Amino acid sequence: MTAEPMWLASACTTTRTKDCALLVPPESTSIAKRGDAVTGAPYQSGFSLVDEAWVPVLDAAGQRRDVSLLDLFEQAGNIRMIAGELPTQTFAILRLALAILHRATDGPPGEAAWQALWRDRRPLLPDVPDYLGEFRERFDLLHPDHPFYQVADLRAAKDNTYGLERLIADVPNGMPFLTSRAGPGMESISPAEAARWLVHCQAFDPSGIKTGAVGDSRVKNGKGYPMGVASVGALGGVHLEGANLRETLLLNLIPVAPGWRLADDRDLPAWERKPQSAVEEPDATRGPYGLLGLYTWQSRRIRLFGDRDGITGAMISNGDSLEWQDRHQLEPMSVWGRSGPREKQQKRTPIYLPRPHDHTRALWRGLQTLLPPLPPGNEPPQRLSPLVLQWLARLTVTGVVGQDFQVRPRATSIAYGTQQAVVDEVFGDGLTMNVLLLVEGSPLRTTAVDAAADAEAAVRVLSQLANNLVRAAGGDADSGAGSRAAERGYSQLDRLFRDWLARLGPDSDPAAERASWQRLVRQAIARLGRELVQSAGPAAWVGRLVEDRNGKQVHYSSYQAEAWFRTGLAKALPLAFDRTEQKQEVSQ
């Protein structure tokens, strides 16, 4: 078994002074310039992410606009959410904002410090302006010596021409005609948009062959060969969304207790470290030493081309590799699962790896895998929920967060295709739920998980009806009718479940709520079943004999398929039928 993070066991009382927080080990000393070394002229910003508007947000009125990093924190109480062009862009920018907030709050160094931030209802998050001011130059997208998240002198052996298609994730690889960015839209983008895609690229860039950078010993024949997707691309990302951005930031700001991150002062964000070169950082200094390194991991070496009037190209090369095995106590924003193949290979248990979300299923259908698992028995748990959810569960149990508090867990991940070299699909989903669903042993949690299982069972009955009707008409049972019926069933239940889940609260009666849910499912699935029977056609009404697995001849018809359907539905949703109905349906 792996030990739980120290912050779950006890609050940390160790603090670090602001001056100490800005000290950097010799091997990663910050070298930000304060002026022109030759002329002595004051530094002139190219495009400051601290001051220039580039982060897309929705404000309290539902209006979309861009804000600077400074405005993001100063107006956090009046901003609804970060609203990127893709869910993955939102997630990547949120992690950047959290790294800034962790440093500005010096951790926070323990639960008491976190509670002070939570209870301070001022919209401004303290200390952030001073912190951003201290490192303003390192947040310049176009700085001549250390541009943000880039390598200033990155170049290839040949004078290549670089476009924007590899930087912008929503441009289909090799199929630019399938995007609204064709033509002028791909020739130049604003520095603000380039900044968003730069942060996204460092987090979610696909694998595949990259431009070989001069000085990188891994380059062969001018090419950087595949090293895997960028760091966050491996995660089944999860973050908590509150009523406004201030709540969202604090809900995901887990106290950085020394027992959790081993009190390693080498854990620094990218802008507090020596700027990267084309070379992969050595193992001895690379880390990651904590979540600050993970949140700002430099998966790629990138150089943007252009100026304030427009960014016209981007060179993208391989950066620092990252091994995710057993980092579940370090990375708080992912689902984790045991890896059977690695356990067998390494002959030890458990071994945990991040688990991307199943893009074929809505989040509520996998609710059990999202919530914190029940206490394990003799075996280590097969799955682990994100630490951000475990943290909120702790706050609920200790009364820091009220039991009537509503939160929205949001899931984000990418499905890569063709040897992980292209983006196939971006997944983003969220559920509004009461915090009691996160608490171990909560009857409300059990009810919600069982309700999701009820829906699955009812849809399976509907799918079987569709297949039986095909058999009755003389068709092929493998025609896909069952899958299409299941899709319709889940589509009908999707909004119903989300609304039902959002209504659950501390005053809810778990038994009554589950019965109410089963009645909703019965009504929706029964209606779809009637539609399938009515559209089955004359051949299905007449029916035919079909040989079952045991060689027995069974008569399939619309009437018989409907009878089986009613019986199956009564077994799947027993609370939706009174005793007389249950007995009648099951006895058929």
Give the percent of the chain with pLDDT over 70: 86
pLDDT exceeds 70 at position 180: no
The CATH number given to whatever domain includes residue 560 is: 1.10.132.100
Domain containing 203 equals 6-318
Report the pLDDT averaged over residues 534-546.
Answer: 89
Any domain includes 578: yes
Residue 434's identity, in one-letter code, is N
Least confident span in 46-60, 369-383, 524-538:
369-383
- Kindly list the distances between the CA atom of residue 24 and the CA atoms of 20, 31, 266, 279, 526, in Å, as whole numbers in the listed order: 9, 10, 7, 21, 65
In a domain, 275, yes or no: yes
Residue 45: the pLDDT is 66
Mean pLDDT of 477-499: 94
**Which one has a higher pLDDT value, 578 or 185?**
578
From 24-33, 180-189, 534-543, the region with the lowest mean pLDDT? 24-33
Q: Is residue 231 part of a domain?
A: yes
Report the mean per-residue pLDDT for the chain: 87
| 113 in a structural domain | yes
416 located within any domain:
no
Instruction: Please tell me the predicted confidence (pLDDT) of residue 264.
Output: 74
Position 18 scores a pLDDT of 36
Place of tokens 């890896």: 339
Q: How far apart are CA 375 and CA 353, in angstroms?
A: 20
- Which spans in 300-351 are helix H? 340-346
Q: How far is CA 504 from the centre of its chain?
A: 24
Residue 36 has pLDDT above 80, yes or no: no
Q: Which of 23-37, 234-248, 484-498, 573-587 has the lowest mean pLDDT?
A: 23-37
Confidence of residue 185 (pLDDT cuts 50, 70, 90): low
247-289 per-position pLDDT tens digit? 999 999 998 755 554 457 889 999 999 999 999 999 888 889 9
For residue 392, tell me if it sits in a domain.
Answer: no
pLDDT at residue 242, as a whole number: 95
pLDDT, position 35: 37
3 state SS of 275: coil
CB 277 within 8 A of CB 302: no
In this structure, what token pair is assigned to residue 237?
């990302």
Last residue of a domain, one of 290, 318, 346: 318
Among 14-23, 430-439, 538-547, 557-566, the least confident range: 14-23
Quickly state the pLDDT bin for 81 (edges 50, 70, 90): very high
Omega into 269 within 30° of 0, i.e. cis? Answer: no
Alpha-carbon radius of gyration of the chain: 27
pLDDT of residue 545: 87
Once rounded to an integer, what is the mean pLDDT over residues 37-44? 46
User: Global pTM?
Assistant: 0.88
pLDDT of residue 554: 87
Contact by Cβ (8 Å): 401, 436? no
Q: How many CB atoms lie within 10 A of CB 11?
A: 16
> What is the mean pLDDT of the segment spanning 208-228?
93
**In the predicted model, is pLDDT for residue 165 greater than 60?**
yes
- Of the candidates 404, 403, 375, 410, the one whose C-alpha atom is nearest the C-alpha of residue 389 is 410
Q: Into how many domains does the chain fold? A: 2
pLDDT computed for residue 588 by the predictor: 55
Of 86-100, 105-119, 283-297, 371-385, the range with the lowest mean pLDDT is 371-385
pLDDT-wise least confident of 44-53, 158-167, 174-183, 262-271: 174-183
Q: The tokens of 25 are what?
A: 């080990």
Residue finishing a domain among 318, 337, 352: 318
Q: Are 100 and 241 part of one and the same domain?
A: yes
Residue 330, in any domain of the structure: no
559 and 526 Cβ atoms separated by less than 8 Å? no
On the question of pLDDT at 229 being above 90, the answer is yes
Same domain assignment for residues 314 and 452: no
Give the domain-ending residue among 318, 345, 368.
318
- Of the two residues 415 and 6, the one the predictor is more confident about is 415
User: Does a structural domain hold residue 384?
Assistant: no
